[in-house]
Structure 1
Amino acid sequence: MRILFLGDVVGRPGRECVLSRLPGLVSDWSLDLVVVNAENAAGGFGITEAIYEDLLEAGADAITLGNHAFDQREALVFIERAPALVRPLNYPRGTPGRGAALVEAKNGARVLVMNVMGRIFMDPLDDPFAGLDSALDGAVLGEMVDAVVVDVHAETTSEKQAIGHYCDGRASLVVGTHTHVPTADHRILPHGTAYLTDAGMCGCYDGVIGMDKEEPIRRFTRKVASGRFEPVSGPGTLSGVAVETCDRTGLAQKVGPVRLGGGLEDARPAFWES
């Protein structure tokens, strides 16, 4: 199975680069599954139903969230009728939506997509490790499902790496989101799980984690907020990770970074390029 995961979509530049490029990638790379983190898609904060529908139309099969999941108040309502929208599974009991979704890939495969939020320098949610155990025990890779994708929305590399190793052999891909900067540690862990600490963002890199640089600089230098954070305008880079899995076991066989357009050097999965 060919899986493409795209990092945090930030504002209009992020939406435009995903919506313009993704349909072609689905065709050119014969993608079976596309997962997109879109928790910053609506002006940098949250997601709307219209954006959710646009991403699905462009080729996404599942959309994950994070700490900004409900910044757009409409998400509290429409998430219940959005089966492919996945918020962190370790939110407290009673939170709207779902933390794991069983989706059908483009090739008909059964894929469990999960979203979990870290607790270091983040909101103190429920234990992510216990939540992962509960979800993974109910969907054994290679038996009950054909692939498992885990989006770890967390601040620290240590927590992301710990979750990666904790899921090794039980997931096809564990990938970090939230910090908006792509890391270079893509690899297949000892028991067959593809791993990347952070997929980076789909957005404009000529700013501070996708936001216009002036306000963050003022806050760092003066310690006083003087305005709202606004997504920086400019060409967006599509950032993520490509994974190819074994049809029998669901474990990873190949993994590589994806960076297209905008201000970063291009990176394409050589194993899919003709």
Structure 2
Amino acid sequence: MRVIFIGDVMGEAGMRAISTYLPALKNKFHPQVTIVNGENAAQGRGIRAKQFKEILKAGADVITLGNHAWDKSEVNTLLQQNDNLLRPANYPGANTPGKGLVIKQINDQKLAVLNLQGRALMNPIDDPFTKADELLAQIPSDTKVFVDFHAETTSEKGALAHYLDGRVDAVIGTHTHVQTNDARILPQGTAFLSDVGMTGSYDGILGVKVANSIQRFLTQQPAHYEIDDQGRLQINYCILDFAKTNHIQIGQINPDQPLDI
């Protein structure tokens, strides 16, 4: 089974990059399942119905979220009506809208997509380690398992990956918007990448306008971040092959690394 995972879609630039490059990537790699993190798709904070539909139209099968999951009020309805839109499973509360796990049937195989969120340097949330244990107990043993771990620190991402090594097929980090160079297969066979990177402006800083970020560092005063929707485009992704031996390949498309078909 081949899976392509696209990193955090950031604002209108991210939406343009998805529409421009995702169909070409699918044509090149022929994945059975395409997963996109869309938690920054609507003006950099959350997702609306418009972005949800456009990402699906571009070729996504499952859309994951993160710490901005609740920033747009209409997400509650979207989560309740669509099982291919996931929010982190470890949000507290029995009545929290939506879910953090979906199992997709692909021909004679099954893929579980699990969305979790970290706690280090982030808002309080339930323990992702014990939540993973709880949900894995509900997944049939013949199912491949992909985890989008939306977290701030590489140490927490690495700890969860090693904790789940051999029990899931991939733990891929999101949230920090810069693709890391540590793609590997852990000792018990789990594919791991600290962060897959972002999709959006190549000329901004983590997707926001450069001047806003510089001003904040110069003055140490609060600055309103503006999403850079006019910059050149980038898309960051990884390709995962789940078989007897798992494999991971990272990739980028940007002005310095153009699309190669």
Q: TM-score, normalised by structure 2?
A: 0.94
Q: What are the within-5 Å matches in structure 2 for residues 163-174 of structure 1?
A: 163-174=160-171
Q: What is the CA–CA distance in structure 2 between the aligned matches of 1:256 and 1:103, rounded to whole Å?
A: 22
Q: Which stretch shifts more, 178-187 or 45-54?
A: 45-54
Amino acid across the alignment from 2:98: G
Number of the residue aligned with 1:181: 178
Displacement after TM superposition at 1:179 (Å): 0.2
For 2:252, the aligned partner's letter is: R
Aligned match of 1:257 in 250, 255, 260? 250
| Partners of 1:206 and 1:234 within 8 A in 2 | yes
How many angstroms does 1:232 deviate by? 4.3
Give the CA RMSD over aligned residues: 1.8
Equivalent pair of 1:140/1:170 in contact (CA under 8 Å): no
Aligned residue in 2 for 1:102:
103
- Identity over aligned pairs, percent: 40
SS for the counterpart of 1:265 is: coil
Determine if contact 2:3/2:240 at 8 Å carries over to the other structure.
Answer: yes
d(CA) in 2 for partners of 1:232, 1:88: 27
Contact 2:14 2:200 in 1 (8 A): yes
CA distance in 2, matches of 1:108, 1:239: 29
**Matched length:** 260
Aligned residue for 2:4, secondary structure, equals strand
Amino acid at match of 1:139: I
Contact 2:149 2:173 in 1 (8 A): yes
Q: C-alpha displacement at 1:256, in angstroms?
A: 0.8
- Contact 2:201–2:207 (Cα < 8 Å) also in 1: yes
Long gaps (5+) in structure 2: none
Matches within 5 A, 1:106-185: 107=107, 109-141=109-141, 143=142, 145=143, 147-185=144-182
| Contact 1:180 1:199 (C-alpha < 8 Å) held by counterparts | yes
1:234 Cα deviation (Å)?
1.5
Q: Deviations over 1:74-98 (max 9, x none)?
A: 1122211111011111101222110
Mapping of residues 172-211 of structure 1, within 5 Å: 172-211=169-208
One-letter code of the match for 2:155? S
Contact 1:89 1:115 survives alignment (8 Å) = yes
1:234 lines up with 2:259 in the alignment: no
Q: For residue 191 of structure 1, what is the amino acid of its counterpart?
A: Q
